[in-house]
Amino acid sequence: MELVELVDVEGRPTGSATVAEAHREPGQLHRAFSVLLVDAAGRTLLQQRAAVKTRFPLRWANACCGHPKPAEPVADAAARRMAEELGLSGVALTEIGVYLYRAADPQTGRVEHEYDHVLLGRIDPAAPIRPDPAEVADLHWELPEALRTALDSSPERYAPWLAGVAAYLPTRPGAAAS
């Protein structure tokens, strides 16, 4: 049974719970991470979550998401999940912010209530990505401006955390995150 680290609104550990318990209504605030991967042209990699996901299946999200185990460093957990979900390893990640949110999934009845560490990595779009079909239905590269427009016009197509996470995307290729 996989555990997540429960936290307070300042990100201080308060205990642990199973993934299932943490995502049961009303949702327990827990540590998570969202990885943004960008290329030299400034595009970001999006993944369509697999149909079997228990929260927000088939919605488009950032390149990789997950939960560190209690006391596991966030960057280590993100590297582990990128290897599991995308078959990527060796990508340098930098934490660029934290996004606190709560969202209920009307389709599954599960709740995301997360203290979400946002990490940024830069990759070559020609890098071999081998998504796990149990995790990822599809991949797509998108410019931040086009993503923001799509999030405004069709929010139901996207994971509810994506707009808050995407706000950290660099505004120009090669620029630092905003």
Q: Say whether 65 is catalytic.
A: yes
- For residue 114, indicate whether it is catalytic: yes
Quote the Cα angle for 167-170-173, to 5°. 150
Catalytic residue among 5, 64, 65, 85: 65
Q: Rounded to the nearest 10 degrees, how much is the dihedral formed by the CA atoms of 158, 159, 165, 170?
A: -30
Nearest Cα to Cα of residue 60 among 165, 170, 176? 165
Please give the Cα distance from 102 to 173 (Å, whole number): 30
**Catalytic option among 5, 85, 112, 114:** 114
Residues acting as catalytic residues: 65, 114
